[in-house]
Amino acid sequence: MEVINTLAATQSAGRLQQERKTYPTPARLLLDARGSLPLDKAGAALLCHVISLRYAQGAIILPAHRAFKDWPPICNHDSTLPSAILDRLLHPAETVIIDGKSFRMKGQSEQ
């Protein structure tokens, strides 16, 4: 996830405090690809930090490709960080579950 890579790089450069000020201000924050790539403990903590900054500040759009119950293995087998993330995301959220075949697969024949 690009936001985690950006935050990790700014943290290494000593500019994390400055970079984190950019996340609470947009009207909508799209965090894409969550659920498809595993995170190490530091990456999961950075994601939790961004979501905590956004909590009650503005909309977060987070497409998840896996069920919430499957998030601990993605977050380095830690159940605490996914729980904190989901607590902040789901409290004021409207969850939309789309079940079915991928739109990208539309029109392709079954093999």
Collapse the DSSP code of 107 into the 3-class scheme (helix H, G, I; strand E, B; otherwise coil) and give the result. Answer: coil
Contact indicator for 37, 65 with CB cutoff of 8 Å: no
Strands 28-30 and 59-61: parallel
Kindly state whether residue 102 falls inside one of the protein's structural domains: no
Kindly state whether residue 42 falls inside one of the protein's structural domains: yes
| pTM (2 d.p.) | 0.73
The whole-number pLDDT of residue 2 equals 80
What is the rounded distance in angstroms from the CA atom of residue 32 to the CA atom of residue 57?
19
Kindly state whether residue 97 falls inside one of the protein's structural domains: no
Calculate the average pLDDT of the chain: 82
| Amino acid in the structure at residue 94 | E
Angle subtended at Cα 64 by Cα 49 and Cα 26, rounded to the nearest 5 degrees: 50
Domain span at 86: 29-92
Tell me: pLDDT of 83 over 80: yes
The whole-number pLDDT of residue 63 equals 80
User: pLDDT per residue over 3-50, tens digit each?
Assistant: 888 888 999 999 999 998 888 889 898 887 655 667 888 888 888 888
How many domains, in total, are found in the chain?
A: 1
